[in-house]
Structure 1
Amino acid sequence: MSRIEELPDDFDESLNLNEAPPEVTQDLPQPGAGFDAFAASNEAPFPINEERLKEMQNDPSAPDMPPAMASIKSHSKDELLKMMNKTPLFMTDIENAGDENGENTLLDALTAMQNEGTRGEVAQSFKAQGNEAVSEKRWIDAKEMYTKSIAVINAKEDKWEKPESLEEEKKLLLQMEEVSHINRALCNLELGNYRSCTLDCAATIKLNPNNVKAYYRSSMALLKLERVDEAEDAAARGLAVDSENKALQTAAKKIADRKAAIERVAAKKKAELELARKKNLVLSTALRAREIRTRKTDQPPEMEDAKIKLVPDALSPESSVEFPAVFLYPMDAQSDFVKGFSELHSIADHLDYIFPLPWDTKKEYTFGNVECFMQTVSGGLIKAGKKLPLLQILTGGKVEVVDELVRIFIVPLSKTGAFIAEMKARKTG
């Protein structure tokens, strides 16, 4: 029997071992040790090419290389790769792993070992290898071993030895199937394969509805997937089986904390949406009461957080409306952006601090030497009084605020004729 069954969830604690691990034989390189093990034991991993070695050793008086080093140094890179591929430890291409006759006795021996015994014993062997890999936190290797164990159990072709007791074999297969699924669920959880983890847990619960680890691992995977309600249900089902299980209690608390956090975020989002809805309702009511026309296009300009709003209180209809505005100087291809233009202020209020313009070397833009225009709904122009409150200019529906932005053209008196002619040409064109 294997010395490790279902693996614990808390890896800060020791594994539940049924017996002590076997003592390591120091005289032989251990499986998986690679070239380091051969070097330590002075064994040659590959045949030594004596002729190549003699060519390399220019100094006859130099000491001989250790066998492990000589076996590697006496071959080219390509030769080493080919020989490594014939060794199960380094094998990457099984089709080219044989000798000139297509045979590989070491690989055949290992394959035969995996097929020795009953179906249950082979599955148990793969499961034991998986457990050893888990003890070293080699999650990918462990997952592969558990997958092989499950594949042996579910294989349609029965190529293994017949068991002495069919009843005992059936029990062993059921046990190995449950353990392999729940242990593979652990690997998937550690690897971040959360959906696969839940599928393994579901398979485990189908075999054994009282497997507490399946509920725990499923709940943690579901929590990672942000399927919090399902995670909560899985933890609750596990606690119904074992109400004193510490891992499940911890999981349930994590899930409850996450659910509470999500609910807080959702409540905050809902409150924000409700507040925005109320602000928009009050603002739209205020604009309709003032007979100010607005329109939105599919390509609004980028204005960051600038928008039409009521100040100082966005929820009070008695507040003033404030608009983002752009002062356009079309005859010089320049502009100025005003983030907040109150309906109570005039164009003159802003020109007072904008003028003089830093780029106006000809001194054409002075308060008494410019005219202000705005486009009408039909595409024509109106002259906007510089000293009129913005509310008076916008009220009545002759002009409209497009994409929440008030557009005002500032033109020198000497160029107004050319500007008007250009705008008419655009309209008719």
Structure 2
Amino acid sequence: MSRVEELPDDFDESLNLNPPPAPAYAPPSAPNLLPTASSESTPFPIDATRLEPNGTTPALPPHMASVRSHTADEIVQMMNRTPLFMTSLESTAGEDGDNMELDALRALQYEGTPAEVAQGFKEQGNEVVKLKRWKDGKEFYTKGLAVLVQREKDRSLKSPDEAGKRLSIAEDEAEIGKEKELEEICYVNRALCNLEIKNYRSTTLDCASALRLNPKNTKAYYRSSLALFALDKVLEASDACARGLAIDPANGALKALAIKIEARQKSLRAVEQKKHKREQRTQKEKLMLNTALRARNIRTRSTAQPPDMEDASIHLSPDPVAPTSTLMFPVVLLYPLHLQSDFVKAFSETDTVPSHLEYVFPLPWDEKHEYRLGSVEFYMETGSGGLIKVGKKVSLGKVLGRPGVEIVDGVVRMNVLLKARAAGWIEEMKVRKGR
């Protein structure tokens, strides 16, 4: 019996395996595993529903009928599921191209006990893994597991009398223990292959299978922790690493990984704390803003389709959470007589309309220079559709605090009209509202 060889934790870095002993088995010529075709057998199952009946022609022979009742793609697919015509494992049924029954069938061409055959597959896996051929290594370990799993199935189907004979003659408890040990090692080594090809979920599943066989396998904890860490499942990775260190406190690979995990945890905690502080700050700012609006009797309303104001919004300045701060409003200055507008991003509650028109005038589109501070009036619409005239010396805050006035979608709308034409515009507005 060859000795059991397990890949170390840092194998993917050092690639320094002890040379394995010569295998205890020799591959003879491969037997013919497929039954030969007979006159009674057909190469494929016959689908009678696809054969069109025709009274003028005789029925097809069974071999021809089995071919004619399937499409070319279906025939290729069925052929790829048989060992004689198979081109790759990916064409077989099973997750990730694994076919445990096929692997067990292939293993029959080797002499020796199941443990010896699995040991051979395991050693071949180790050899290709030395060359960093991770996918090939995974396939060899999978074949070894297929032999061991199939052996366990066969053992469970034996009757008590047959089991007793078997144990007394060839399969004593030591042999069963050897199989379990090999199964554990194949799972752990396949976990390394899955880890290297970034199949992180498969890595954790292999490690879990190894730990069911041996709860003290530190390599399984280490590789499972690495996979979880790669998935940024920091809490789970930390737990797996801690369990491994509880078994082997001096394990250098686990201790180094624990340091990385702790650093990541600190980083995530810092990000979470900043996020929490931002959320608290946002909530406090919102509370202070709502309190300030209520204190000034300013009403707001939102519609189903608010305009995109980018970063312009009602806010308190200079400190959004200070009760002594001043309310600032986005204000649109509308010139309805000429279908023009201006936008003031931060209009203080203490400002008057003329204080902003001083730097807005003259208007670039006002070719007649009609818009001057002495020739304009200001009006705001109420929530009921009426109009309020805004005095030139009245602050915005006082206007917004009047009954009936409301801010829609966070934007104050102020109409700027020429005095000479204001009355006509107001009458037109009344007629429009009436309609």
Normalised to the residue count of structure 2, the TM-score between the two structures is: 0.70
Deviation per residue, 1:293-348 (Å, 9 max, x gap): 11233433222222222112222212111112222334444432222111011121
CA 1:315–1:409: 2 relative to 1, 3 Å: same
Q: CA distance change for structure 1 residues 195 and 427 in 2, over 3 Å: closer, same or farther?
A: farther
Q: Deviations over 1:136-159 (max 9, x none)?
A: 223333333333332332237659
Please name the residue that 1:128 is paired with: 123
| Alignment size in residue pairs | 353
1:141 and 2:136 are equivalent in the alignment: yes
CA distance in 2, matches of 1:362, 1:20: 103
Residue 173 (structure 1) aligned with residue 179 (structure 2): yes
| Corresponding residue number in structure 1 for 2:400 | 394
Please report how far the alpha carbon of residue 200 of structure 1 lies from its aligned counterpart in structure 2 after TM superposition.
1.6
Query: Per the alignment, in what secondary structure is the counterpart of residue 311 of structure 2?
Result: coil
CA contact (8 A) 1:3 1:18 kept: no
Is the contact between residue 293 and residue 397 of structure 1 (CA under 8 Å) also seen in structure 2? no
SS at match of 1:360: coil
Aligned residue for 2:341, secondary structure, equals: strand
Sequence identity (%): 49
Structure 2 counterparts to residues 65-214 of structure 1, below 5 A: 91=87, 111=106, 116-155=111-150, 158=154, 164-214=170-220
- Answering whether residue 6 of structure 2 is matched by residue 5 of structure 1, we say yes
Q: In 2, distance between residues paired with 1:419 and 1:122?
A: 98
Q: Is the 8 A contact 2:383 2:404 kept in 1?
A: yes
Which stretch of structure 1 is more off in the superposition, 345-354 or 126-135? Answer: 126-135
Q: Which amino acid aligns with 2:201?
A: R
Aligned to 1:410: 416
Q: Secondary structure at the match of 2:384?
A: coil
Contact 2:107–2:117 under 8 Å retained in 1: no
1:272 maps to 2:278:
yes
C-alpha contact 1:324 1:405 (8 A) present in aligned 2: yes
1:340 is aligned to: 346
**Aligned partner of 2:180: which letter?**
L
Q: Which residue of 1 aligns with 2:16?
A: 15
Residues 32-83 of structure 1 show CA distances to partners (whole Å, capped at 9, x for unaligned) of xxxxxxxxxxxxxxxxxxxxxxxxxxxxxxxxxxxxxxxxxxxxxxxxxxxx
Query: What secondary structure is seen at the aligned counterpart in 2 of 1:321?
Result: strand
Q: Return the offset for 1:375.
A: 2.1
Q: Deviation digits for residues 184-214 of structure 1, max 9, x if unmatched?
A: 2222222333222222212111111111111
- Secondary structure at the aligned position of 1:12 is classed as helix
* 1:286 and 2:281 correspond: no
Q: Which moved more, 1:383-392 or 1:203-212?
A: 383-392
Aligned residue number for residue 51 of structure 2: none
CA distance in 1, matches of 2:88, 2:186: 26
Structure 2 stretches lacking a partner, 5+ long: 24-79, 92-104, 156-165
Measure, in 1, the Cα distance between the counterparts of 2:211 and 2:107.
Answer: 33
Secondary structure in 2 matching 1:315: coil
- One-letter code aligned to 1:17: N
Q: What's the CA shift for 1:351?
A: 1.6
Residue 164 of structure 1 and its aligned partner are, at CA, apart by 4.3
Name the CA shift for 1:135/1:287 in 2 (closer, same or farther; >3 Å): same
Instruction: Give 3-state SS (helix, strand or coil) of 2:329's partner.
Output: strand
Secondary structure, counterpart of 2:13 in structure 1: coil
Task: Trace 1:244-283 onto structure 2 (pairs within 5 A).
Answer: 244-283=250-289
- In structure 2, C-alpha distance between the alignment counterparts of 1:168 and 1:281, rounded to whole Å: 73
TM-score, structure 1 length as denominator? 0.71
Q: Residue 145 of structure 2 contacts residue 183 of structure 2 at CA under 8 Å; is this kept in 1?
A: yes
Partner residue of 1:216? 222
Determine which of 238, 252, 266 is the counterpart of 2:244: 238
How much does 1:2 deviate?
Answer: 7.1
The answer on whether the counterparts of 2:4 and 2:119 sit within 8 Å (CA) in structure 1 is: no
Q: CA deviation at 1:364?
A: 4.4
User: Are the equivalent residues in 1 in contact too, given 2:334–2:413 (CA < 8 A)?
Assistant: yes
Could you tell me which residue of structure 2 aligns to residue 367 of structure 1?
373
1:418 shift after superposition: 6.3
Question: Post-superposition shift, 1:178?
Answer: 0.8
Dislocated runs of 4+, deviation >6 Å:
none
**Quick one: distance in 2 between partners of 1:277 and 1:194?**
39
Task: Describe the shift of the 1:10–1:115 C-alpha distance in structure 2 as closer, same or farther (beyond 3 A).
Answer: closer
Q: Distance in 1 between matches of 2:345 and 2:278?
A: 23
CA drift of 1:244 comes to 0.7
Q: Which residue of 2 aligns with 1:104?
A: none
One-letter amino acid of the counterpart of residue 275, structure 1: R
Write out aligned runs for 1:311-322 (5 A).
Answer: 311-322=317-328
Structural RMSD (CA) = 3.5
> Measured at CA, do residues 10 and 129 of structure 1 come closer, stay the same or move farther in structure 2, by a change above 3 Å?
closer
> Residue type matched to 1:345 in 2?
D
Contact 2:15/2:130 (8 A) holds in 1 = no
1:406 positional shift: 1.5
Shift in CA distance, 198/426, structure 1 to aligned 2, threshold 3 Å: farther
Alignment check: 8 A CA contact 1:3 1:17 kept: no
